[in-house]
Amino acid sequence: MQLMTSCAAGAALLLLLHCCQIASIVGHESALTVVKNPDGREGGGADEETEVAVDEEDLEVVQPTEDWQTLKPGQAVPAGSHVRLNLQTGQREVRIGKEQLKYWTQEHRETEEIQSTISPDDLKWAMKKMKEELNPVRKETDRQLTVQHIHDSVASKYRPLDELKRDLAQLDLLVETDVQIMKRLLDQFNSSNSTTEQRLSILLELEYLVHQVLFAVAALLRNFPYSQRHFLSHGGLQVLSELFKADGGGVLRTRIVTMLYDMISEKELISQAGLDLVLDASHEERVHQYSQVSLQGELLEKGWCSLVPQLLESTEHDYREKALRALLAMAPMCLDQYRLDSSLLGSLLSLRDQYQEMVQSEMIVGEENGYFAEIVELIHALQFKMK
């Protein structure tokens, strides 16, 4: 107990001596002064002494380092420096603050990085690039050279068609386009030396080639009234009627009838849309363009009112459906001819009975509004118009 009391008394005495020493230092006439850094920054650390305002004239400002150094009387330190009192020596000590150290280290590192990454060659290249960028004539010349280089590179990989034809001709190979092939086949077909078997073979080849060209014609005509007008003015429907008559299988007939139905329907839809909607400039222009397409008159003149019903003779349900839809679309212009066509009347009665039986079969399996019921509705609609 006595030992503990002695230790406590010694510690209290030591603390008292330290406090007296601090008081004597603070009260000294050369008190610690904090000045601004040369770059204008201010800062402080957790270990800084309390700032005391004194006259800063003729003060010696100490620049701190990373190591603790002793401060002499009358010396000042930059703001942000760390100052401590060494209790063993009674001297004030200072070192650079954390914020100052961070700033110095970062600035030093960035300077070193810049110096290490930029070489004299890099500077020369950058100056040369700047001069080139500021020269528009040089830039345009470089662009033209680049384009020419690309063109020459592409051209070197491909050969002109005429050159290929010459080379193939030397190899006894003949390159023909589809149009050239069709012309050649037609010449062979019309030749008096052709046998029946040869003509049948020619027709099969022509069917395949024409089959591809109908797709192309349909793509050019749909929703393009300007193209439709030129197609009609150059006898396009006459050509289609000849192809329709020559087609025995029905595939080509169906595609032709479908294309005609689409052309009639889109013109009708454009006309009807203007009745309910506020017309804008583009819609008025489309209505004007379609008004110049005399499709109905051409269909009537070229005999399509009697050609389309022939497609009903097919055994394919899809072909019959396409024919019925086209007949309904053509009814406003062909109704008088429909009523005089006994073959059409007979076909409609026969088809109605046939498809009504199929509808009954659909209903048995639970399909009340099936595909065959739709065909029956088309037949009924056409018969109603013909009454």
Tens-place pLDDT, residues 342-387: 999 999 999 999 999 988 887 776 666 788 899 999 999 999 999 8
With b for 16 or more beta-carbon neighbours within 10 A and e for fewer, the 108-142 pattern comes to eeeeeeeeeeeeeeeeeeeeeeeeeeeeeeeeeee
pLDDT digits (tens, 9 = 90+) for 167-217: 766 666 566 777 788 888 888 888 888 888 888 888 888 877 776 667 778
Residue 109 lies in a domain: no
100: in domain? no
User: Domain for residue 141, yes or no?
Assistant: yes
Instruction: List the domain range (segments joined by +) for residue 181.
Output: 159-192
Q: Does residue 110 form part of some domain?
A: no
The string of pLDDT tens digits covering residues 176-190 is 777 788 888 888 888
Whether 232 and 323 share a structural domain: yes
- Predicted pLDDT at 360: 87
At 297 the pLDDT is: 85
Is residue 275 in a domain?
Answer: yes
CA nearest to 75, candidates 86, 44, 67, 83? 83
How much is the pLDDT for 40?
A: 46
Burial class (CB in 10 A: 0-12, 13-18, 19+), 297: exposed
Confidence band of 31 (pLDDT split at 50, 70, 90): very low
Question: What separation, in Å, do the N-terminal and C-terminal C-alpha atoms of the chain show?
Answer: 133
Among residues 107, 137, 157, the one where a domain terminates is 157
Asked if residue 101 is part of any domain, the answer here is no
Q: Do 204 and 187 lie in a common domain?
A: no
For the cut 60, the answer to whether the pLDDT of residue 103 exceeds it is no
Q: What are phi and psi of 383, to 5 degrees?
A: -65, -35
In this structure, are 82 and 7 located in the same domain?
A: yes
Query: Based on the domain organization, do 286 and 351 belong to the same domain?
Result: no
Let me know: does 372 contact 354? Beta carbons within 8 Å. no
Residue 283 lies in a domain: yes
**Within a domain: 233:** yes
Q: How many domains does the chain fold into? A: 5
Query: Between these two residues, 39 and 351, which has the higher pLDDT value?
Result: 351
For residue 104, the model assigns a pLDDT of 52
* pLDDT of amino acid 142: 62
Are residues 288 and 380 part of one domain?
no
Return the pLDDT at 98.
63
